[in-house]
Structure 1
Amino acid sequence: MDKLRRVLSGQDENEELGLTSQVLDSSTLSYSTRVKWFVICFAGGILCSILGSALLFLPNGIKLFAVFYTIGNISALASTCFLMGPLKQLKRMFEKTRLIATIAMLLCLILTLCAVFWWHKKGLAIVFCILQFLAMTWYSISYIPFARDAVIKCFTTCVS
């Protein structure tokens, strides 16, 4: 257990943990396999989001929209686990620079489903889907150096 704690905290990344490490580490898959599954997961996420958007116009389609749109975002987010591994992905998600974006994104995923299934508020579900999109975008650009600064500068220039 102490070894696992050291690896999770980043103190001992080169130490082997046996089967647990193999299951949770992306390096056990070949590079081409990781890229293929990333593309499959990401494309599936986009497909689910588009399908959800198309289902929005059906009677009672708001529930299907919320579910497929949320599944699409989760799938797109999970796709990066194939590139860097689930543990590293989780560690990077909750770094100081991404913490607020991660929490907002996960909260919006949950609130979208709550708005549709428990509160039965269609308008609120759409608002949460829009916030989900914005939070996911803000989270995603956090991986691109200086992208957030460029977006903020562009936005402030357009507003003023």
Structure 2
Amino acid sequence: MEKMNQALEKMKMLVGMEVEEEDEEQTSGPSRDSSSFIDDFNRNCALSSKQRLYGFAICFVSGLACTFLSMLVFFHPIKFGVTFTFGNLLALGSTAFLIGPKRQVTMMLDPVRIYATALYLASIIIALFCAVYVHSKILTLFAVILEFGALFWYVESDA
């Protein structure tokens, strides 16, 4: 029974439930006036575990669908670049449902991940630039390959 409780506590921590409880305890004291906008936003937008999982699933599946559907319009660089990038951003943002947006940004800016995050965000901008401004299929393809590599490095940087 104790192992089950420990597993449940670990799952709650991964989902971010304990983080919210700690935030509530911290803001109930005298430091409530100095809380930031993001803390207020997180407190007012508390989601249940079921809502978090639904939000994650919907956002992640939508991101994967956009990414795979972008392959159908590969020969139209503008449509491809926008659809592919939007799909990647949806898939990346889906994890914010599980752990919360503040913790997501904190993890992205962690010293272990900062270079991978910077390269990933830069590759997204480069892919959009090549697709929308340059209209080059070859450069867009290279930018997307760079984006895949940066995403892989980002995912593996914490492992």
When normalised by structure 1's length, the TM-score is 0.73
* Corresponding residue for residue 148 of structure 2: 133
Determine the structure 2 residue equivalent to 1:44.
Answer: 62
Is the Cα–Cα contact under 8 Å of residues 26 and 34 in structure 1 kept in the other structure?
no
Question: 1:89 is matched by which residue type in structure 2?
Answer: Q
Deviation string for 1:103-122 (max 9, x for gaps)? 01000001111111122222
1:70 matched residue in structure 2: 85
**Residues in 1 aligned to 2:120 and 2:141: alpha-carbon distance in whole angstroms:** 15
Q: 1:132 to 1:18 in 2, by over 3 A?
A: closer
In structure 2, the CA distance between the partners of 1:20 and 1:128, relative to structure 1 (3 Å rule), is closer
Partner residue of 2:108? 93
C-alpha displacement at 1:138, in angstroms? 1.6
Cα separation, 2, equivalents of 1:50 and 1:42? 12
Larger % of helix: which? 2
Distance in 2 (alpha carbons) for counterparts of 1:98 and 1:18: 24
Output the amino acid matched with 2:61.
Answer: A
Alpha-carbon distance between aligned partners in 1 of 2:101 and 2:72, rounded to the nearest angstrom: 31
Aligned to 2:146, the other structure's residue is in SS state: helix
Distance 1:25 1:74, change over 3 A: farther
* Equivalent residue, structure 1, for 2:95: 80
Map 1:95-134 onto structure 2 (within 5 A): 95-134=110-149
Identity %: 32
After superposition, the C-alpha distances for 1:70-97 in whole angstroms (9 at most, x for unaligned) are: 0010001100110111111001001111
1:34 corresponding residue in structure 2:
52
Q: Give the SS at the match of 1:15.
A: helix
Cα distance in 2 for residues equivalent to 1:38 and 1:142: 22
Task: Determine the C-alpha separation between the residues in 2 that align with 1:139 and 1:26.
Answer: 30
SS where residue 41 of structure 2 aligns? helix
Query: The residue matched to 1:112 in structure 2 has which SS?
Result: helix
Give, as a single letter, the amino acid of the residue that structure 2 aligns with 1:117: V
Q: Per-residue deviation at 1:141?
A: 2.5
Q: Normalising by the residue count of structure 2, what TM-score does the alignment of the two structures yield?
A: 0.74
Q: Aligned pair count?
A: 130
Structure 1 residues 40-98: Cα deviation after superposition (integer angstroms, max 9, x where no partner): 101100000000011114xxx22111111100100011001101111110010011111
Q: What's the RMSD between the two structures over aligned residues?
A: 2.2
Residue 24 (structure 1) aligned with residue 12 (structure 2): no
